[in-house]
Amino acid sequence: MKKEINSLIFFTLLYSYVIVCLASEPLKCGIRSAHPLATNAGCKILEQGGNAFDAAVAVTSTLGVVEPFSSGIGGGGFFLLYDAESRETSFMDAREVAPRRSKTSFYVDDGKPLGKLSIEGATAAAIPGIPAALELLVNKYGSISFKNSLASAIRIANQGFEVDQRYIKLTKYRLERIRRDPVTANIFLQDGALPKEGWLLKQTALSQTLKLIGEKGADVFYNGQIAKRMTSAVQAGNGFWEESDLRDYRVIFREPINFLFRGARITTAPLPSSGGLVMAQVFQILEGYNLETLSEVELAHLVVEAMKRGYSDRAIYMGDPRFVDVPVEKLASKDYAQKRREGIRLDSSTPSRNLSKLHSFSDESQETTHFSIVDKKGNMVSATLSINGLFGSAFTAGDTGVLLNNHMNDFVLGTGIPNMYGLVGTEANLIEPRKRPLSSMTPTFVEDKKGILIIGTPGGSRIISMVILGILDYVLNENVDVGRIVSKPRYHHQFIPDRIEIEPGGFAQNWIDGIKRRGHEVKIGSRKWGNMQTIFIQAGSNVVFGASDPRGR
């Protein structure tokens, strides 16, 4: 597989794009994000002469201000990048790392989690990677100053923005936890209560922190006054940070995972994202079937069976490659896919218990964010960002305004012990000092004769299945409709619990009955999931189409 990684050559290196949306109305620029203020921030950078990478800094920093429940400089992310000048694709890993003092015994006693220490408060926070990633984007790829790229985020944080129904709905999920941290409550609640629509959310402390980062660089966050203030606040909250944890943080460039599926070259996230490797397994398994001849039920059955096997290997083998010897070549090989395919029957499901001895559990909600960018020179960014759960740890680091992640919960606390997304694992993803937790974030490029698709979504453990379904729609249909890709109903299976989750109102009863007849348990979710952001660059026509998930409105 490594031999294929650097062979990605895009069909369309366009220098004059016509950018359109679903109804063929002109878009301001080739950016799709989860919030209009973030999209506008990126568009302004492009108008000022910046490129896609400068715009990515603006979008990332602004999303952290206007969607504090999803991402921020107190979190991490993955950036899949295409540099049109060098024609090189790279993957930037800005995933958080575990503090040196952290260990599993702090979170577990006698095989049971100690309360919510990995979910809430200072103990849940890993070392953030976003500030380092943003500075690196500007220094390595950008064309304008770091300060200019952060300007919109600084202004909006200082002047405030009116919260909408989505902010109110998601804040309600974590309301009681937010109230338990006075600093966090003072920022994100309206006089200690759930805000009303139109309330002006100001984050003046965060604005000052962003301004300092823009003026002095990310070093002030990792090795300066901000680092000292954050560490002091975390330690006062019984967290495990030391100043050296921040000082030693580094972004890592990794080779993307690259594989072929039905003539399309898919370039996606490597470990510590599990997404790329699971997708490679799923698509290698599906490659052995004539998918066009299948009914919708038969196709869904096969996709689910492939997902089960990919997610089971995720639980057993995958972790930070600096700490764990993951058999990547084997797991992504055609021979292994053939062996996994041999156990699949077209008329019945394989019980998850027959694939592994891990135990069952329940799952919970999730939040992350994603954006896709293409500029007039053909530079491209697909980025997924996260602070993990809604509002992360719900712990704000003192007077810095930095809301911290709860990505310590993405580690395994013990074999068979689920995290907040219902995912389990083994020793491969146990907590170790300086280790990066396994992730599901899966920013992706897909290239075939039709053009190039930039795709990604938030959604916790469901990210991988959503991207799989989006790519299947793209590959199996000659007529590309990005609106259809982002809006089509979704189903999900993550190996354990052994059931298919489906979106409410998305599937006809005869589809559900057909799935059940094959032995699958079906659970209708309480709400729809995901917030996919896609861009399609049509080969040879100089036209770019974009679509945002209607679920995010």
Reduce the secondary structure of 113-181 to three states and give it as a string: ECCCCCCCCHHHCCECCHHHHHHHHHHHHCCCCHHHHHHHHHHHHHHCEECCHHHHHHHHHCHHHHHCC
196 to 160, 184, 307: CA distances (angstroms): 15, 17, 41
Listed in sequence order, the residues at least 6 apart from 439 whose beta carbon sits closer than 8 Å to its beta carbon are 78, 95, 272, 273, 274, 275, 386, 410
Q: Are residues 100 and 169 in the same domain?
A: yes
Stretch among 147-151, 258-262, 284-288, 363-367 having the lowest mean pLDDT: 363-367
C-alpha 154/C-alpha 213 separation (Å) is: 10
Domain around 536: 254-364+441-552
Q: Are residues 95 and 229 in the same domain?
A: yes
- CATH number for 483: 1.10.246.130
Question: Which residue, among 420, 497, 421, has the nearest Cα to 462 in the 3D structure?
Answer: 421
Spatial contact of 256 and 269, defined as CB atoms under 8 Å apart: yes
Residue 82 domain flag: yes
Q: Are residues 244 and 354 in the same domain?
A: no
167-182 tens-digit pLDDT: 999 999 999 999 999 9
Residue 129 domain flag: yes
Residue 541 domain flag: yes
535, exposed or middle or buried, with CB in 10 Å at 0-12, 13-18, 19+? Answer: buried
Q: Are residues 240 and 265 in the same domain?
A: no
Q: Are residues 132 and 53 in the same domain?
A: yes
DSSP 8-state symbol, 86: T
Percent of the chain exceeding pLDDT 90 equals: 85
C-alpha 431/C-alpha 155 separation (Å) is: 38
Quick check: 114 pLDDT over 90?
Answer: no
- Give the type of residue at 134: L
pTM: 0.93
pLDDT value at position 16?
36
C-alpha 134/C-alpha 448 separation (Å) is: 30
464 to 91, 219, 432: CA distances (angstroms): 17, 33, 25
Q: Are residues 308 and 448 in the same domain?
A: yes
Spatial contact of 243 and 228, defined as CB atoms under 8 Å apart: yes
SS3 of the chain: helix, strand, coil, percent, to 5: 40, 15, 45
C-alpha 241/C-alpha 121 separation (Å) is: 13
| 60 among known catalytic residues | no
C-alpha 495/C-alpha 306 separation (Å) is: 10
Using DSSP's 3-state secondary structure scheme, residue 106 falls into helix
Q: Are residues 210 and 355 in the same domain?
A: no
Q: Are residues 234 and 273 in the same domain?
A: no
Residue 485 domain flag: yes
Mean pLDDT, to the nearest integer, of 343-350? 94
Quick check: 21 pLDDT over 90?
Answer: no
Spatial contact of 507 and 491, defined as CB atoms under 8 Å apart: yes
Residue 27 domain flag: no
pLDDT value at position 111?
76
- Domains: count for the chain: 2
Spatial contact of 259 and 266, defined as CB atoms under 8 Å apart: yes
C-alpha 468/C-alpha 94 separation (Å) is: 23
Residue 26 domain flag: no
Mean pLDDT, to the nearest integer, of 279-289? 97
Residue tagged active-site, from 62, 368, 384, 442 = 368
Q: Are residues 207 and 290 in the same domain?
A: no
Q: Are residues 349 and 458 in the same domain?
A: yes
Q: Are residues 338 and 454 in the same domain?
A: yes
Residue whose structure tokens are 């000082």 = 247
C-alpha 94/C-alpha 410 separation (Å) is: 15
Residue whose structure tokens are 């490679």 = 280
Stretch among 47-51, 110-114, 373-377, 413-417 having the lowest mean pLDDT: 413-417
Percent of the chain exceeding pLDDT 70 equals: 91
Residue 67 domain flag: yes
Q: Are residues 462 and 546 in the same domain?
A: yes
Give counts: helices (H), strands (E), the chain.
19, 20
Residue 436 domain flag: no
Spatial contact of 385 and 76, defined as CB atoms under 8 Å apart: yes
DSSP 8-state symbol, 34: S
